[in-house]
Amino acid sequence: MLRQRARELGRDEIASPAIQDMIGRMRDTMRDAPGVGLAAPQIGESIQLVVIEDPPQSQAGLTPAQLAERERSTVAFHVLINPRLTVVGDEQVAAYEGCLSFAGFSMIVPRWRHVRVEALDERGEPVVKVAGGWYARILQHEIDHLRGIVCCDRMEPRSLTTYDNHFRHWRSLTIDEVRAALGATPEDA
> Which of the following is catalytic: 142, 156, 177, 187?
142
- CA–CA separation, 53 vs 60, rounded Å? 14
CB 127 within 8 A of CB 85: no
7: CB partners within 8 A, 6+ apart: 46, 47, 48
Q: What share of the chain is helix, strand, coil (3-state, %, to 5)?
A: 40, 30, 30
* Residue 159, CA atoms < 13 Å, CB-side half-sphere: 31
Q: For this structure, is 91 an active site residue?
A: no
- Read off the DSSP letter of residue 104: T
Catalytic residues: 142
